Homo-oligomer: A and B are copies of this chain.
Amino acid sequence: MGNYCFGIDVGGTTVKMGLFRIDGQVLDKWEIPTRTENGGKAILPDIAASVLAKLKEKGIDKEEVSGIGIGVPGPINAEGTVPHTANLGWGYKEVTKELQELTGLICKGGNDANVAALGEMWKGAAAGHKSGVMVTLGTGVGGGIIIEGRIIAGTNGAGGEIGHIHVDDSIPWNCGCGNQGCLEQVASANGTVRLAKWMMEGKEIQTILRPDTMTSKDIWDAVKAGDAFAAEVAERFGKYLGLALANIASTVDPEVFVIGGGVSKAGVIILDYIKKYYVKYTFKGCRNAEFVLATLGNDAGIFGSAKLVIEE
């Protein structure tokens, strides 16, 4: 196994790239644009060219490279094939096979939320743990399940799709997935705002929050400022997440939960609200699971992708 590897995180706008030593040290980190036009056919050739240019720049031989790990925003199977990735313009694509042919380097692939979880387990908030669940509270709610150091990708690539755990029959609107009552609809950045508006509906409420303009950050700022209504929203947010994570614990019983994404920037206060309800709902054997905030931010994906090609 070579001493170097690449971690690639393909997003809808930019591709994040990292050159790593296999002990996890980042040697270089850069971005290239994601060219989604023409069915995204330039994306993999662009990545390959950038990898090969970086090797030349650094004077590293291909023989010294363990491989390239790549995270993509959609389901990807064990063979590194995606059925369809809408926001990259891709239809069916043999991602790792193609990238391997373009670079002459071994390639492994994973879903972006899953590799971010692997990154946090390897060098982030959960380093030193073998089993953990990461929850990304961003535009949506993403997740990744890591057991004994391996991603649980799932039969249909839906392992860790915890944003679609059903948490409440009474949520009256639909999720993007077509179901009703999904965690994502009340716990993502947009979801928290939707939750707050729903809780305001038809009521006279005293709050510093302004229904038309409030953001998830506004809600957490209001909680910190002592706003009683915002605190009620935070309780409900905590209840939904605590319940979902308790039910995940009764399934895979992880050592640690890592909470990341934009919403988590509100800080440890969100862990307090989640843990309060986690402890209420979880099986007693799982009550001592740790809760930590993600630390790698937008770099979690390149770390986790790199880890895909590093054997322990």
Are A179 and B283 also in contact (CB < 8 A) when A152-B147, A154-B253, A161-B253 are?
A: yes
When distances are taken between beta carbons in the complex, the residues of chain B under 8 Å from A13 are: none
When distances are taken between beta carbons in the complex, the residues of chain B under 8 Å from A157 are: 253, 285
Q: State A247–B250 Cα separation when bound (angstroms).
A: 11
- A160 within 8 Å of B by Cβ? yes
What mask results when residues 156 to 169 of chain A are scored 1 for a CB within 8 Å of chain B, else 0? 11111110111000
Contact of A253 among B156, B254, B281, B285 (CB under 8 A): B156
Interface residues of A in 225-257 (CB under 8 A from B): 243-244, 246-255
- A192 within 8 Å of B by Cβ? no
- A75 within 8 Å of B by Cβ? yes
Taking the closest CB of chain B, its distance from the CB of A283, in whole angstroms, is 4
**How many copies of this chain are found per oligomer?**
2
Contact of A162 among B75, B160, B166, B250 (CB under 8 A): B250
Question: Could you tell me if B283 and A158 are in contact, using CB atoms closer than 8 angstroms?
Answer: yes
Taking the closest CB of chain B, its distance from the CB of A214, in whole angstroms, is 27
Q: State A254–B145 Cα separation when bound (angstroms).
A: 13
- A38 within 8 Å of B by Cβ? no
When distances are taken between beta carbons in the complex, the residues of chain B under 8 Å from A178 are: 284
Number of interface residues of A (CB under 8 A): 42
Q: State A178–B281 Cα separation when bound (angstroms).
A: 10
When distances are taken between beta carbons in the complex, the residues of chain B under 8 Å from A253 are: 152-159, 161
Are A145 and B179 also in contact (CB < 8 A) when A158-B286, A166-B281, A246-B166 are?
A: no
Question: Could you tell me if B285 and A158 are in contact, using CB atoms closer than 8 angstroms?
Answer: yes
Please list the residues of chain A having a beta carbon within 8 angstroms of any beta carbon in chain B: 75, 131, 145, 147, 152-162, 164-166, 177-179, 181, 243-244, 246-255, 280-281, 283-286, 288-289
Which 10 pairs across A and B sit closest by C-beta, in order of nearness?
A154-B253, A164-B283, A158-B285, A158-B253, A156-B285, A159-B253, A155-B255, A166-B281, A161-B250, A165-B247
